[in-house]
Amino acid sequence: MHRGIPAKYAVTVTTPTAPFSSEAQTSQKPVLVVDYGAQYAQLIARRVREANVYSEIVPHTFTTEQLLAKNPAAIILSGGPSSVYAEGAPRVGADLFEAGVPVFGICYGFQAMANALGGKVAQTGLREYGATEATTVGEARSILAGLPDSQNTWMSHGDSVHEAPEGFEVLATTAGAPVAAFANEEKHLYGVQWHPEVKHSVHGQQVLENFLFNGAGLKPNWTTGNILEEQVDRIRRQIGDSKVICGLSGGVDSAVAAALVQRAVGDQLTCVFVDHGLLREGEAEQVERDFVAATGVKLYVANEQERFLSALAGVSDPETKRKIIGREFIRAFEEAERAIIAAAASEGESIKFLVQGTLYPDVVESGGGEGAANIKSHHNVGGLPEDLQFELVEPLRALFKDEVRAVGAQLGLPQEIVGRQPFPGPGLGIRIVGEVNKERLDLLRKADAIARAELTAAGLDNEVWQMPVVLLADVRSVGVQGDGRTYGHPIVLRPVSSEDAMTADWSRLPYDLLARISNRITNEVDGVNRVVLDVTSKPPGTIEWE
């Protein structure tokens, strides 16, 4: 392990990228989720994977030919905000339903299927939003097999299917949807008006699994174990005998990506950890000690705390802070990278590959479902240079966050790393509202460590998505501690519950836990005399304060 890598090698580089390819990520035939602008498209894909079936999201602009070219095991048409009869509304070609691929329509996808096949879609005058009772027509069967005759579902629609297409059997109805579910068993075509992917649809997962296992005849044989084995093989084929570099942030994504590559190519990998001094208590040491011990990875550590503090001096604006942290990280990473490249060159070797912990939501949100070559901002901070001349290695590109954690556990990474809560790239720099300096960082680190320790002791780590602890450095409040009057800073606790951070709600932590956290922080952290709780959902608030 090396520290303080010198910056004395000038290297000019650029970065070619490759489009996302499911074949490069898994040998499983995918269930394609066609996204019609639904807020739940990613959630549908997650629910399919929870049934141990591989899924991918594709845009509604895909033609039937493009869909079939991906050799799908089945296709799910998502919901969306449009009306099927509105000008410019997304369409689905009727030829898709003659291709022999099982199809399942949800909400707008259900209506688009009905419309394409000659059914009748119109407004009933009775919109349904939220909890809605659906009643089966006759005996519960097909995709509703094994479900009660009446079930609670989650609706979000103004239009309804009034008449099912020819050859379809009506399975369920609601007050506002004469046809709330239908099936054509002969052609393996199915649909429901409600959203089975959301937890509020009590039997939604069973509806999805009835489609996957009975309607489409699939087997639940995809696991993160498959991904681990396939990725190791793919990485070896991609990298060959070349050298590869990876930036470690201390977070879950980069750690698991690096561990996967290390499993595949061993000492051909060099990891770079830029310690910018903005991590939480003990996290830098975990990277340097625990990660190295678990993986045997070759690690270069650049101590750059003074660099970042100097650059942030006098800056309070959050967006400016983000840009400064991103800029300085890029410079520090480049200096380390140049030294490593030079060291490899002195031995007659070259570094051709760069590991990135890109996840599937990053691919989808950047347009990668269409084969776009957008690279997400590096999760260490801010973004890697646009002129990096490496081929990307992205072993997590097909995975959601919970799947990444599972792969990390299979790789033997410590729970302290695998189970780590999501943490922003700019670190504590954006959890201090105001100027960032060493005194304030030390204060926030102590408060954050207390809050995290108490959450763990209460056994609630897995029930809270993350709990940012925020220092209001530019705010002071009057307090009484001992026999004296104080004028200290408030600390904000921001515990949130979420599945993917796209939406979130504040976590209802027990009062006695909140009291312990408050008492410990105000007693043990000098300069803090008040602890407050943020009870705002997302939206309207964001998870982070800056």
Asked, as a colleague might, if the bond just before 540 is cis with ω within 30 of 0, I would say yes
> Cβ atoms within 10 A of the Cβ of 415, count?
12
From the DSSP assignment, how many helices (H) and strands (E) are in the chain? 16, 21
- Closest residue by Cα to residue 161 from 204, 216, 117, 103: 117
Sheet strand arrangement including 120-136: 55-59, 31-35, 74-77, 103-106, 189-192, 181-184, 169-173, 120-136, 150-163
Amino acid symbol at 450: I
Instruction: Tell me which DSSP letter residue 268 carries.
Output: G
Q: What does each C-alpha distance from 416 to 290, 445, 453 come to in angstroms?
A: 9, 17, 12
221 is written with which tokens? Answer: 């044989």
* Cα angle for residues 244, 245, 250 (degrees, 5° grid): 140
> Hey, which residues are catalytic here?
107, 195, 197
Look at strands 169-173 and 477-481 and give their pairing.
Answer: unpaired
CA distance 51 to 417: 26
The helix (run of H) or strand (run of E) holding residue 519 is: helix 511-524
> Cβ atoms within 10 A of the Cβ of 288, count?
18
Contacts of 23 (CB under 8 A, 6+ apart): none
490 is written with which tokens? Answer: 């408030």
- Closest residue by Cα to residue 246 from 392, 398, 408, 401: 392
DSSP-derived 3-state class of residue 429: helix
CA distance 31 to 24: 16
Contacts of 342 (CB under 8 A, 6+ apart): 8, 9, 11
